Structures are given as structure tokens and as C-alpha cells.
Amino acid sequence: MHDDRGLVEARLKRVLDERVRPAVYPESVPLEVAVWNAPGIGASPVRAESRAWGTVPVEEGLAAPVTPVAVGEMWGPPWGTSWFRVSGTVPEEWAGKSVEALLDLGFDENMPGFQCEGLVYRPDGTPVKGLNPRNQWVRIGAPVDGGEAVLLHIEAASNPVLLDYHPFVPTRLGDIETSHRDPLYRLTRMDLAVFDETVWRLVIDLEVLGELMAELPVDSGRRWDILRAVDRALDALDLQDVNGTAQAARSELTEVLSSPAEPSAHRISAVGHAHIDSAWLWPLRETVRKVARTTSNMTALLEDEPEFIFSMSQAQQWAWIKEHRPEVWAKVVKAVSDGRFVPAGGMWVEADTNMPGSEAMARQFVHGKRFFIDEFGVENDEAWLPDTFGFAAGLPQIIKAAGSKWLLTQKISWSQTNKFPHHTFQWEGIDGTRIFTHFPPVDTYNCAMKGSEIAHAAKNFKDKGVARHSLAPTGWGDGGGGTTREMIAKAARLRDLEGSAQVVWETPAEFFAKAEAEYQNPPVWVGELYLELHRATLTSQAKTKQGNRRSEHLLREAELWSATAAVRVPEFAYPYDELDRIWKTVLLHQFHDILPGSSIAWVHREAEKTYAAVAAELTGLIEQAQRALAGEGTRTLVFNATPHTRHGVAAGGAEVATDEGPAELSDRPGGGFVLANGRLRVEIDGRGLVVSAYDLIAGRESIAPGHPANLLQMHPDFPNMWDAWDVDAFYRNTVTDLVEADEVTAGDGPSVRVVRSFGSSKATQTLALAPGAARLDILTEVDWHETEKFLKLAFPLDVHAERYASETQFGHFYRATHTNTSWEAAKFEACNHRFVHLEEPGWGVALVTDSTYGHDVTRTVRPEDSGTTTTLRVSLLRAPRFPDPETDQGPHRFRHALVPGATIGDAVREGYVVNLPERTLPGAGPVAPLAEVDNDAVVVTAVKLADDGSGDVVVRFHEACGGRARATLTPGFPTASVTTTDLLERPLGEPEATSGPVELSLRPFELRTLRFTRA
């Protein structure tokens, strides 16, 4: 037989494009259209009123006066809202037919979720469904009687396209304050049309078979069976009468569509999904509407498709619907009660997991899971994080402590260098906790049920022979949209089809239960799940990151001092509601495009204001509690919120601090200054560079010979793509050492002030020794006006170390200093929390920080003495131009401290010191801690009152040094019992009667929560 494969495949494509798809709607009549453009756009994400989100209430939009508008006219300035009214009458001659409204606002079908969108309402305010480029229809009747009046309203958002066909182009459209006001979109189609379901089903048949055929081997019999059947179907189709012959064409495909899958076929659990970024190329207020549109679509689809299951994560987004769109919420609640609209993930948002601190990561699960439990009685066993940029090594323990046991992620498929070796595996965290984890081989969280996607999932699955199940999140995402009826129709044909994986709709829990049951002994991956991409998100938008870090520590203080005051001062009321609300605000801003700095300017401008408001409110709560605790008096009390004794003040207590003795400043021979305090002697040369940091106790130099520290370095920074997200390894090829100083002078007190000008920017540093501590404090203030540059602060250390530690949630994690393998070489930019620590046996150095996360560590051998120089560099600032062309421009302030001679325990302690400054207040006498621990290796991360309002005291702590620890925890109040709980403060065992200290024994990095009932 002659090979006519190419001829038939080309025929299929043209007939589908030019004849069959257009015949889905064979008849149409235009609708009348009028519009009202809503005035003004608000921006505040912390106010509840609808107008503050840049919208108007639905009832106002429905009642607004409208002006006629014609198809073909332009509408919608960037970020505007237009209310369209479409009206018409179904022709009498269409009686008995299915009729739909086709509402095209000017869509580009390749950009669902990234351009204009709409939500359709009935005149009574009932939401119908969302409109997006892949979902432009609204059912009028199936069938209609003929003569029906049609009246619909569309709340349309003219969101600009920012990630266009030529991506990463700098644009001012990312902020309402810098956008132009010209209309963006042309109204394209507003019609009533007959919907020919037979032709539509033929389209699906041909698409499924054509896509499957393209994935099968050319020499396989199945491929040729499909080819011949398609050829016969096209012969049966009269191209002049597609609607009249569609059923005949379908009949020719019945046999190939009914041939069952092989018994060994891969099995895919399809989960209806619409990954919605809580902010990204749109502001927070627009996400509220994206969620409403998507959930309206999905609840309507659930009514039509009995096998379909839809799952949505991010409790914040559910809360938005409840608060801002009650008419949509009612439909969601019903769908959840039917068991087919499934809460997923159990987190407040799909957060970044690298940068949030220990308590913040825990509270993501506390607030997320509690919302779903309270609203629906549903508890999630899975964490759902398809798009997060890598996963910190402390996360497994947090997932388990929250009462969950599974994790789904997708983003690791984006790694550029190394292909991850598993799709289903046990992920082991720093404390030994293992979480059953799935990484879908479909390699997308926006699966559209294309044959290429299904075939890729089956071929790509790395656990063949021992497992057969994988998951496919199915639906348009990022900007929302969700699953379409076309995807569901394709899945129905792929349920049991020869040559394809088998597809079935299932909930995440159903998938995980099956996957876990079939894979009894999966492989284990130990340590972080590092994404070999998007490394610059550890640095971009410094003020957002500083706002997060500051908020986390202020929340710690507010809970600690409020709980102490509530227990000690009878009239003091614990601020439950305020703390709950503020926690949720902070957790929202840890979303994986806000905290990482990869959102538009509007998002980060709002975030800066929000963080300022949060700081002001939390500072007020702290002061209120401390005043209540201090009482009336004239003694200067120092409140210590760190988990270690400081200046003689116990952790979590207040007392008159002891004087540690001053540091001294003297001139350095040859220029510069010397700082000394009896524990550390630091030499700063005439260029303002640290040339010596000598540990006087150990008799040991910290700084590598010939390599000055406190060295600002600048690199060009123009990645190949994803500007705000990425830094590519070649950035290191060019570096400028900023060694020239405008001035090096004595500062206020025993300190040194260094001023440098470079490019269009200026850096001012203040170097000082902390009294009585082996700690060089470095305050760096940068007025930053560079473009596409990367600023680092370097510390070349005389330390021989093959690995180093950086703090993560509830502990620390080790990374290699060498690049023996491609896995190590790929980690050229990594995350730390409050410290990075390098160590030789018996002696180490720590660098602690109050707000930076990104860093790199490299090592070289000095030819002159064969000693090893290990260089630690912290990342300060970047200047990408997309999506925010003004990223990081302006003044910044960073605090770091170099701690020679530091153990891991010292690094932990000094990290808290730099992040939790002492607060002083006049008062009557000391304030005893609410909970004291007698071992510095056991770090208390939270002291608070129980969330249920019972008045119980909750203390959370962990072993922080990586070893076994015994300790005694002594409550500073009368107790009746103590109970070990999970993160949601639910008992994990029976309460134990106690009226005093509790003996603790902890494994390395073990996390524990105790709940004390007060006597």
C-alpha cells in the first residue's frame, strides 16, 4: 500500500479548521449591545468594600445607565471595568434547537487568563459563567421554544496583556498609576447562535484521534487503523453540508473510538483545576474577580457533566468569594456539599516555601486547613503546590505536623540542568519526616487533555514497572479559567482507548490513596527540592521581602507579649481577631509571585503600603501589651523577644539589662580604623574594607589573606528570559569590585562610616562591634538607581569547608561548597533565613541577616599558602525591568552581622538578635517569661493563647542545632495539664496533669507544640 499518511493528516487539519469547526454554529443573529464604563479604580487590598477593589457592587453594575455600542468598536482602557448589556430574541424558526450566546470581547484564544475577561449575570444578579478566550459561550436553551427574550449582563475587565508573544518587554501597563487610558480591545462578536452538538462531538472525535495518531509509532497498526478510519469519516462528510452529514462521519469513527486500552496502559487521574495566581500580572483586587469568574464556570460545568470533579486550593481565594461574591459563594457551597467541588491543599495560599519563616510556614497550614474545616467540615491530607519555585528542606515536618501526609508539585519539571529522577517518591526533610510526594509526569498544571500531553505523561513517567498512576491537573490556569467542556469530552473518549493512557476524573485524595497503595516502597529523596530556575526570586523586590521578614517577627512579638499580658494582667484582652486578620494578610503576601518579587509594579506598591500598615498595627499591639506588663515605675525595663537570654534578660521576659562593656575605636596604621571589644578585633582599611576580623578568644583570623571582606560587588544581570525570576550562571563572568570610597570616617559612637558612589547609586555603610559579643554589625544603606545590575556583599573567609549550613524552617540545611556534580553546580544561588554558617572542626563563622535571602558560596585554593578561601556573598539588590520596570529603584536598608568563632547555636542566637531588637519601657519591675527553656538548643518559635479562645497557652519549639536535646520547659503560670498537639492545636494524645516543669527530649530538628491548660 502506498504511504499516504501525510496526505490524510493534512486533509484532516484543513477540513477541521475550515469546515467542521465553523459548522458547530451554523446559524446566528446579532445581539444588541450597550455598555457602561465603571468610573475610577481603587487599589487597597486591606479594605473590604467592593469599590476599594476597583469594582462596583453587582447591583450597581446591573442598574447603571448604558450607551449603545457596536461590534467592531474599541472598549476598555488598561485595568478598566465595563458593564455590557446584551439583549435579543431567539428566532421562532429555531424552536427545538440548542441555542447559545457567543460573546467575544476581543479575545486572543492563545491567552486564556492573560487578557480581558468577563463574568455573565442574569438580570436578577445570578452569576451564569465566566468568559475567557477559550470559553465564549453561554447556553440559552437546549432546546429552545423560539421567541424567547434574552437579556444578559457582562462585568468585563480590560486587563492588559503583559506577557505577550514577545515576552519580557518592559511595560508601564503593570500599574494603574503609569498606564495609558486608551482602549485596548475591539468588541468582536455578540451573537445568538444555533449550537449543533453533533458537529461539536465530531470535532472532539477528530481532535482526539488526530492527536493520538500523531503520538503513535509510524509502524504501529493502531496508527494506521486510526488513519483509515479518519479518511473514511472525511469521505462521509459532505463539505457543503457538514451539519447534515456529521453523524455519518461520526459513525465511521465508532470502531476505533471503542477499541479498549491495553491492560498495561498508564492510568491518569484527571483533576479539574484552574491554578489562579493570587497576584502576578494583575493586582490582588483582580484576582478576586478571576476567582469569581472561574468558580462560576466550574459550578455550571459540574451541573452539566456528572463525572467531572473540580478541585481548588488556596483558602484565601475561597474566603474572597465568600466576602466579595456571595452570589457565587452560594453555588460553590452547594457544589462542595455534593462532593464534586473539592477544597485542596490546606494552605492559605500557594506560598513560596523557601523564604517564609518557621511560624509563617506553619500558619499557612493552620489558617488554610482551619478555613476548610470550619466552612465545609473538610480536612485536606495533601499539600497542593504545583507552581511554587522549589521546596525548603524543612517542609515535610510542617506538612505532617499540620495533619497532612501527601504533597503534589509540578514546577520541578522546569529545572534547566538536571532532570528529577522520580515522579512518585518519599520526600525526607531535615528531621527525618517523610512525605509521600507526586510530581505529575504530564509536566504542566494546565493540562488541556491534548493527545501530546497524555502521551507525554505516559512516556515520561519514571516509575514504570512499579507504579502506573499519575495525576493531571486539567484546566486553564495562572490567570484562571479552569476546565472546559471540550477537555471533559476528550477525557471521556480517553477513558479506555487503545494506544492511550486511561483517563478518569478523581479527587486528589482518591489519586493519592491509589498511588500510595500500589507503590509500597517508593524511592526516597533527602533534602530540599531545589528548582534549577527562578533563583533571582530570592532577591527581587527587596522591600517586599523586608516587609515579610519584619512582619513575621512583629507577629512573634505581638503574640508573645499579648499572651503574657493576658495571663498576668486580669483586665488585658488578648487580640484574637486582630492577630488572625494580620496573619492572613501576611500569609497572602507570601504567595509565590508576591514574596518572590515576580509580580507587576502595582502588586509591590500595594504590598509596601500593606506592610507599613501591618507594622504600625502590630507595633501598637506590642506597646499596649508591654505597657500593661511594665506597670507604673521608673526602672528602664528591656523586653527581650528572642528565644535566648540577652544582656541578662531572660528569653520572653523583661528586666533591667546588664552592661556588656563598650567597644573601642582607634586609628589603624596605614589608614583606616580598628574596632575591638575584648572578643573581636576588626581592621578596616582606608578603602572601608574589612581586612581582618580576629577572634581574640580562639586566636584565629576570619578573613582570607589578601581578600578583603565587606566588599560590594556589582554584576551585569540580563538573564535569557524571566527577568525578575532568573539569574543565569554567566552573570558571574563579569564583576566590578566597588573598592573606591568617597569617605571612610569615624561614625557616631565606636563605629566606622563608609560612603561609596558607583554608577548612578550610592552606598553608605556603618560598621560597629556589638558590646560584649563577637559580632561585627554592618548597616548598609543603598540609594539604588541601576538597571539590569546585581549587587552582592562579599565575605572571603579563611575557612576550609566542604559544606555550609543555612537556616530554613525549624532548623538548617547543608549545601556543598564545591561543584563536583551538576546538581551542586546548579545551586549557584540559594536561600537562607536568618543565618549562613561555615565551619571547620572546632571553629566556625556565621553571617546573619535581617532581611536578605539570596546568597552564594564558592571556594578556591590560594596558590601562595595552599589555604582555602571560602567566599560567602549575600545578594542585596537587582534591577530587572520586567514585569516592573522600576524594580528596587530608590533607598534600601540592610542589616548584616559577621560572627567569627560562631557555632551553629551562636548563629541561631545572633540571627534572632539582629531580627528582634530590644524594646525599652519604664516600669515597676521585671516581667518573668511565660515559658522558660533551660537549653539554648531548644528554640521557642511561638508563645500564644490557643486560637479557640479557651485561654490555654500554646508553646511551640524545636531542636535548632541538629542534635539530640534534653531540656526542661517551665511555665511561668499555674498549670493544670499539658497536651502535645498538632499545629492546629488539636491533641495528639491524652492530656497529662502537671503543675510545674515539663521534661523534654527532642530528636534533631524535632518540632513540637504543647498546649497548657491554666489552673
Q: DSSP for 439-460, please give it.
A: --TT--SSB---HHHHHHHHHH
What is the H or E stretch that residue 870 is in? strand 868-878
> Which residues, in sequence order, are CB contacts of 303 under 8 Å at separation 6+?
none
- C-alpha cell of residue 798: 579563611
Closest Cα to residue 575, out of 600, 594, 592, 555?
555
Could you confirm whether 723 is annotated as catalytic? no
- C-alpha cell of residue 824: 551542586
In this structure, what DSSP letter does residue 84 have?
E
Q: Rounded to the nearest 10 degrees, what angle do helices 601-630 and 576-588 cross at? A: 150
Contact indicator for 282, 600 with CB cutoff of 8 Å: yes
Sign of CA dihedral 894, 899, 902, 906: negative
Contact indicator for 793, 780 with CB cutoff of 8 Å: yes
> Any alpha helices (H) in 731-775, and if so which ranges?
none
In this structure, what DSSP letter does residue 438 have?
E
Q: Rounded to the nearest 10 degrees, what angle do helices 451-460 and 197-215 cross at? A: 40
CA angle 496, 502, 507 (to 5 degrees): 120
Side chain identity at residue 389, one-letter code: F
Closest Cα to residue 496, out of 221, 233, 256, 308?
256
In this structure, what DSSP letter does residue 893 have?
E
User: Around 835, how many Cα atoms within 13 Å sit in the side-chain half-sphere?
Assistant: 32
Sign of CA dihedral 963, 911, 724, 314: positive
Q: Is the peptide bond before 883 cis (omega within 30 degrees of 0)?
A: yes
50 vs 32: CA distance, rounded Å? 29
Kindly list the distances between the CA atom of residue 524 and the CA atoms of 198, 733, 736, 798, in Å, as whole numbers in the listed order.
50, 36, 43, 36
State how beta strands 74-75 and 341-343 pair.
unpaired
Which of 387, 478, 717, 723 is an active site residue? 387
Closest Cα to residue 553, out of 917, 822, 989, 104?
917
> Which residues, in sequence order, are CB contacts of 535 under 8 Å at separation 6+?
726, 727, 828, 829, 830, 854
Contact indicator for 280, 111 with CB cutoff of 8 Å: no
Contact indicator for 158, 185 with CB cutoff of 8 Å: yes
Q: How many CB atoms lie within 10 A of CB 263?
A: 5
State how beta strands 80-89 and 74-75 pair.
unpaired
Please tell me whether residue 858 adopts helix, strand or coil conformation. strand
- Three-class HEC string of 579-618: HHHHHHHHHHCCECCCCCCCCCHHHHHHHHHHHHHHHHHH
- C-alpha cell of residue 763: 552606598
CA 925 to chain centre: 45
Please tell me whether residue 20 adopts helix, strand or coil conformation. helix
Side chain identity at residue 961, one-letter code: C
By annotation, the residues acting in catalysis are 387
